[in-house]
Structure 1
Amino acid sequence: MYRPKSTVEQWRIFQAVVDCGGYAQAAEKLNKSQSSLNHAVAKLQQGLGLSLLEVRGRKAYLTREGEVFLRRSRKLTQDVESLERLADVLASGWEPVLRIVVEASLPRGPLYQALADFSRQSRGCSVHLVETQPAGCQTVIAKQAADLVFASRAYPGVTSLPLATTVYVPVCAPSHPLTRLREVGQPDLERELELMLADGSEQDEGWARAEQRWTINHLHDALSLLRRGVGFAWLPQEVVGPLVNNGVLQRLPMANQALRKRFTHLILPASAPPGPAASLLLSLTRHYYGQQEGTAGPS
């Protein structure tokens, strides 16, 4: 079995001597005797079989080997400090991991902003962010396999908070035949290929659908096909707005200015109240979605 030749405390003392420029200064900073520091570093060098420091006058200088070990030892002591801080965090009830599931068809700009803020306050908590389809959301909720779920509909028996309204608008490539019409009615759409996000909307809210449909699982795939002139799609205004402004896509001039809307719901699958990390992310999420709701509107 491997036996360590050094201790974390020896490496901390070695670093202090280097940072302070000598044993006397390091002893004062660490509130230890100078002889104890000399002994610790001597024992460290003896165990390694290498000279890490050279004393000239009252100052300690790194050897070439010492420069290498100083860099590596700093990571070691930082990792130990992180482990000890993590133990304190977990002892306080802070969750080590948050699992977040997002329905693929939903825009998530405010969630990203909330996560950016959370990262600066996470205290070592890891985040697992997973994208799935409505059926996947339903399974995760039934198994209570996530802390937060973002879905386009509420589910019975679990806490559900309506966060924001997502507005969907019809778009296609500028080269698509539909863009030649001054006004587009439902009969015009019914004759064209529709790229339909797999968000369950074909059974929801009575949305009329084209007879020719491709079901697309991911928003990225729908956008890639639209750019190539394939079909039209009803997509979140938040996502396609910049592409329309840049001329990459074109919004169809609907005869009745039809807009389709859907809520983004935040669902807490677990029966127990959220822990402190989940509560923080929940608060940040509601804040940023609230900002979006206050400023959003049809363009």
Structure 2
Amino acid sequence: MARSTIEQWRMFKAVAEQGGFQQAADVIYKSQSSIHHAVHKMEELLGVTLFQVEGRKTMLTAAGEQLLRRVNYLLAEAERMENVALNLKSGVESSLNIAVDEAFPRDKLFQVLAAVSAEYPLIRIELLETILTGANELLRQGKADIALSPFTLPDNLSEDICQVEFIAVAGREHPLNLPPRELTLEELKTCRQIVIRDSALEQKKDVGWLGSDQRWTVSHVGTSIELLRKNLGFAWLPLNAVQPFLDDGTLIPLLLPRGAKRSATFYLNFNDADTLGPVARSFIGHLRFLT
């Protein structure tokens, strides 16, 4: 039988992260004396020293550091259990937040949303449109229930959901297309490349070829397409997004000796299946069926 409590471990974590008992008290709205008493009681029960004072700082001991790594998992599991209980109590969730990378095929996404809405017509769905690592960041922050991302989760399981093809394109009147010819790497480097900014705030990533001497960075695929249609640069963009403009001739595929096309795997990501409600499960089921 465990002799320590979840609340004691929360207090321990707060002291470790804030660097002192008073700082922890300010953050978790407990008195300094109650936090100090809880941590001291844990040290007595466990028979180890968790903190040591160095000057004005309260520092973790080696034992404290080792336990903190395990405490993070313990508290995360406790939160998941509470979320499972809330789902069981409420039955159907009232809203579903989906973080989706802008390169994900919209036709598939919209078909899935239509099917889910037919089953749950009163559900509120929020689409959080992201770029690169942005979808997984929102999932990690708890702002999204499901992420459709070109990156796997580093600490969880990810499911391959589809392949997205990217193609190098420029406007019909762009110098790279006049006259139509196979381009050299040197020609590509001298022209402006349009790249799309990672929407994540914490751990941004750059992907793809970024060798151009000139570069404009934008936040949305649609903005990139408009710049290309005005012959202001070239870019690698999702084929599903540029296909209408290839069909009407306003965008032209670049003739490169290699690398003109590339594909990326997109992943279905979520943190814990047990915490997902019936609407989220319906979305995942329809997504798997269509892709």
Which range, TM-score by smaller chain? Answer: 0.5 to 0.7
Q: TM-score, normalised by structure 1?
A: 0.61
Residue of 265, 268, 278 corresponding to 2:267: 265
Deviates more, 1:128-137 or 1:167-176: 128-137
SS of the equivalent of 1:256 reads: coil
Q: Which residue of 2 aligns with 1:188?
A: 187
SS of the equivalent of 1:277 reads: helix
CA root-mean-square deviation = 2.5
Q: Which residue of 2 aligns with 1:118?
A: 116
- Quick one: structure 1 residues 185 and 122, their matched pair in 2 at CA, closer, same or farther if it must change by over 3 Å? farther
CA apart distance, 1:152: 1.3
Q: Which residue of 2 aligns with 1:127?
A: 125
Aligned residue pairs: how many? 200
What amino acid is aligned across from residue 182 of structure 1 in structure 2? R
Higher Cα radius of gyration: 1
CA apart distance, 1:241: 1.6
What amino acid is aligned across from residue 184 of structure 2 in structure 1? G
Q: Is the 8 A contact 1:106 1:264 kept in 2?
A: yes
In 2: Cα distance, 1:190 partner to 1:222 partner: 18
Unmatched runs of 5 consecutive residues or more in structure 1: 1-88, 291-299
Q: Is the 8 A contact 1:162 1:265 kept in 2?
A: yes
Per-residue CA deviation, residues 237-264 of structure 1 (Å, 9 max, x unaligned), is: 1111221111121111222363222111
Q: Is the 8 A contact 1:104 1:217 kept in 2?
A: no
What amino acid is aligned across from residue 286 of structure 2 in structure 1? L
Q: Which residue of 2 aligns with 1:19?
A: none
Q: Which residue of 1 aligns with 2:285?
A: 283
What amino acid is aligned across from residue 218 of structure 1 in structure 2? H
In 2: Cα distance, 1:208 partner to 1:136 partner: 20
CA apart distance, 1:176: 0.3
Q: Which residue of 1 aligns with 2:142?
A: 144
- Quick one: structure 1 residues 264 and 190, their matched pair in 2 at CA, closer, same or farther if it must change by over 3 Å? same
- Quick one: structure 1 residues 106 and 185, their matched pair in 2 at CA, closer, same or farther if it must change by over 3 Å? farther
Residue of 211, 230, 233 corresponding to 1:231: 233
CA apart distance, 1:185: 2.9
Per-residue CA deviation, residues 49-73 of structure 1 (Å, 9 max, x unaligned), is: xxxxxxxxxxxxxxxxxxxxxxxxx
- Quick one: structure 1 residues 140 and 95, their matched pair in 2 at CA, closer, same or farther if it must change by over 3 Å? same
What amino acid is aligned across from residue 129 of structure 2 in structure 1? E
CA apart distance, 1:161: 1.3
Detail structure 1 runs of 4+ shifted over 6 Å in the superposition. 89-92
In 1: Cα distance, 2:129 partner to 2:185 partner: 32
SS of the equivalent of 1:159 reads: coil
Residue of 153, 156, 163 corresponding to 2:154: 156
Q: Is the 8 A contact 2:145 2:270 kept in 1?
A: yes
In 2: Cα distance, 1:211 partner to 1:270 partner: 44
What amino acid is aligned across from residue 165 of structure 2 in structure 1? V
What amino acid is aligned across from residue 190 of structure 2 in structure 1? R
Unmatched runs of 5 consecutive residues or more in structure 2: 1-86
What amino acid is aligned across from residue 135 of structure 2 in structure 1? C
Deviates more, 1:89-98 or 1:115-124: 89-98
Q: Is the 8 A contact 1:144 1:269 kept in 2?
A: no
CA apart distance, 1:202: 6.7
CA apart distance, 1:145: 2.3
Q: Which residue of 1 aligns with 2:67?
A: none
SS of the equivalent of 1:139 reads: helix
In 1: Cα distance, 2:174 partner to 2:275 partner: 50
Residue of 161, 166, 172 corresponding to 2:164: 166
